[in-house]
Amino acid sequence: MIKTQNLPIALFDSGVGGLTVLKAIHRQMPQESILYFADTARLPYGTRSPETILQFVREIIDWLSNQRVKMVIMACNTSSALALETVRAEYDLPILGLILPGARTAVKQGKKIGVIATPATVKSNAYAQAIQEIDSTAQVWQVGCPEFVPLIEGNQIESVYTKEVAQEYLYPLLLKGIDTLIYGCTHYRHLEPVLRSILSPSVNIIDPAESIAIAAERELGLMSLKNDRLPSPTRFCVTGSAKQFAGLSQRWLGFYPEVEKIHLLESSRIEMTLKSSEGI
């Protein structure tokens, strides 16, 4: 029987965005094993309703719990903004989200903070609330960027159109004279060269992926859950095309990953059937 501390940490996102969190976790805690889950069949999440996002998150955490993991990291701001508080109370697992770690880091860097995020995250107001709870003197402006995730998942990062869209999204924040910009969606770090080329070099960029990696390490330490064995290779699971995810992600991973396609609902139905036949 594997000890709880030697189980993997699970990370989930709608797609390749969470790879930015995966890399930060690897840098911070190279000794940990990771299960990376991407709900690619149902992305993007950021234009969906809060109810749908919560339902998807519950389905994912149900599935992850059955895989035996010691911690769940929401490598997705949209899920963190809309579902974290609810699911934390529902599961007997440590679950971490990006908003608070990102907000804490941002207020240390500046007072005029821009947030670029999915429409659902912006609508939730989660970043503005978190920042102002920490520092009521900080000013926050948020911009919803619905086109970014489809462009990144569609491998359009270098296109002229992507740069035009980025200029349009950043324009209102440039007008406000922001000194700090938060990537309020894990996909956006993949656009760093494009975004950096538009922003003044004096603007601090905050990637909450870095902050959550530090928070996760602290949490594992507090719970005595740090892995003390050799880590296993990262396991990649997706709900959409395994080939497409592997092809797209290799540019960030630096290798062509082995990817499993899984059926979220079928597996939870099978598990439910098993449980009921076992009389649980």
Q: How far is the CB of 2 from ligand DGL (least distance, A)?
A: 30
Distance CA 69, CA 246 (A): 23
Closest to 212 measured CA to CA, from 49, 84, 37: 84
Report the relative pairing of strands 9-13 and 71-74 from DSSP bridges.
parallel
| Contacts (CB under 6 A) with ligand DGL, residues 76-95 | 76-78
> Which residues are CB-contacts of 225 (< 8 A; sequence separation ≥ 6)?
4, 5, 70, 71, 219
- Shortest Cβ 224–ligand DGL spacing (Å): 30
DSSP code, position 5: G
Whether the ω angle into residue 44 lies within 30 degrees of 0, i.e. cis, is yes
Catalytic pick from 81, 185, 215, 237?
185
Q: Which two tokens stand for residue 273?
A: 């059937």
Smaller CB distance to ligand DGL: residue 45 or 127? 45
Q: Which of 186, 211, 234, 249 binds ligand DGL (CB under 6 A)?
A: 186
Quote the least distance from Cβ 183 to ligand DGL, whole Å. 8
Structure tokens at 68: 């035996």
- Binding flag, residue 97, ligand DGL (CB under 6 A): no
Contact flag: residue 181 with ligand DGL (CB under 6 A): no
Please state, in angstroms and rounded to a whole number, the distance separating the CA atoms of residues 223 and 229: 17
Under the binding rule (CB under 6 A), the answer on residue 32 touching ligand DGL is no
Active site residue 237: no
Stretch that binds ligand DGL, among 10-18, 56-64, 103-111, 247-255 (CB under 6 A): 10-18
When the beta carbons of 48 and 104 are compared against ligand DGL, the nearer one is: 48
Q: 185 catalytic, yes or no?
A: yes
70 near ligand DGL (CB under 6 A): no
Residue 45 interacting with ligand DGL (CB under 6 A): yes
Amino acid at 8: P
Residues 6 or more apart whose Cβ sits within 8 Å of residue 133: none
Q: Considering 76, 98, 116, 166, which one is annotated as catalytic?
A: 76
Contact with ligand DGL (CB under 6 A) among 14, 40, 162, 227:
14
User: How many residues belong to the site for ligand DGL (CB under 6 A)?
Assistant: 16
- Distance CA(192)–CA(96), nearest Å, equals 24
SS3 238: strand
Region binding ligand DGL by CB under 6 A among candidate stretches 73-81, 137-145, 163-171, 220-228:
73-81
How far apart, in whole angstroms, are the C-alpha atoms of residue 153 and residue 171? 23
Q: Does 20 bind ligand DGL (CB under 6 A)?
A: no
Quick check: 40 and 18 in contact, CB under 8 A? no
Which positions are annotated as active-site residues?
Answer: 76, 185
Footprint on this chain of ligand DGL (rule: CB under 6 A): 13-14, 17, 43-46, 76-78, 118, 121, 149, 185-187
